Amino acid sequence: MSLLIGAAMLVAVFATSMISGIFGMAGGLILLGIFLLILPVGTAIAVQGIIQLIANGSRAFFSRAYIDWRVLGIMTLGLLTAAAILFIVRYTPDLATVCITIGLLPILLWIPQSWLALDASKPHHAFICGLLGGGINLAVGVAGPTIDMFFIRTPMDRRTIIATKAAAQVVNHAGKIIFYWNATMVLAPGEWAAVALAAPFAIAGTSAGHWVLQHLTDANFKRWTRLIVTAIGIFYLTRGILLVI
């Protein structure tokens, strides 16, 4: 990894961690897209998982007073179920499938509430959220829109949403790192050093995003989340279609 690429990666880690700190998602989508340009699919998913684990871990720590532990526990059970299924079928990702799947995920955020009224505060909804969100996170590297559709319509305020989603993503990314650990063996010592160096940038970006979050209203928070994730989804979908044709 050249010095220029390494520096660009650190800037990207800070910026995407800040975005995730504000909206609870989107940053991971952007960061994975960057890694998919320079690393094999499985390796990119694992490395993104390592950095996102740090970013989400710091975000969960900053917002720990607002975490809904009951919801988190139920979501974790769903994730473990999804991990067992993917392990049994020996799932392996490919770039086109990953891009197209991620590109289609933002559609979920625009489904009218009257069509699909999901609420993560309800136990059975929380389990399904963990099952789908955890499974998609393992399969393609990110699952923000899937998880968000269970939170965007919940009566929780933005602080509880961010805190609980961050804690859930810590569990999701940890599972993803374990699932794709063998794929990280292709990384050179210098690349591992860059990943380690990215840790404080992830924490700093998360801290900056946490500060911005406190100045957003609930209405602006939910509206901007949909618009930003949709724009990112269009990029992924376009890339995936181009890979197929």
Report pLDDT digits (tens) over 78-96.
999 999 999 999 999 999 9
Q: Is the pLDDT of residue 218 over 70?
A: no
Report pLDDT digits (tens) over 6-54.
788 888 889 888 887 777 667 888 889 888 988 899 999 999 999 888 8
pLDDT for the residue 98? 93
Q: Is the pLDDT of residue 107 over 90?
A: no
**How many domains are contained in the chain?**
1
Residue 179 has what DSSP assignment? H
Range of the domain at 222: 3-244
pLDDT for the residue 234? 92
Distance of CA 209 to the CA centre of its chain: 15
Report pLDDT digits (tens) over 133-152.
999 999 999 887 788 778 87
Helices then strands (H, E): number in the chain?
10, 0
Check residue 136 and give left, alpha or beta (phi > 0: left; psi -120 to 50: alpha): alpha
**Which residues, including other chains, have CB under 8 Å from residue 110's CB and lie 6 or more apart?**
226, 230
Supply the mean pLDDT for the chain. 86
pLDDT for the residue 226? 78
Q: Is the pLDDT of residue 1 over 80?
A: no
Share of the chain above pLDDT 90, in %: 37
Tell me the C-alpha distance between 209 and 20, whole Å.
7
**Which residues, including other chains, have CB under 8 Å from residue 44's CB and lie 6 or more apart?**
32, 35, 36, 38, 141
Tell me the C-alpha distance between 95 and 99, whole Å.
6
Report pLDDT digits (tens) over 151-171.
877 888 878 888 898 899 899
pLDDT for the residue 23? 73
pLDDT for the residue 219? 65
Give the residue from 39, 33, 35, 31 showing the smallest Cα distance to 188.
39
Q: Is the pLDDT of residue 75 over 90?
A: yes
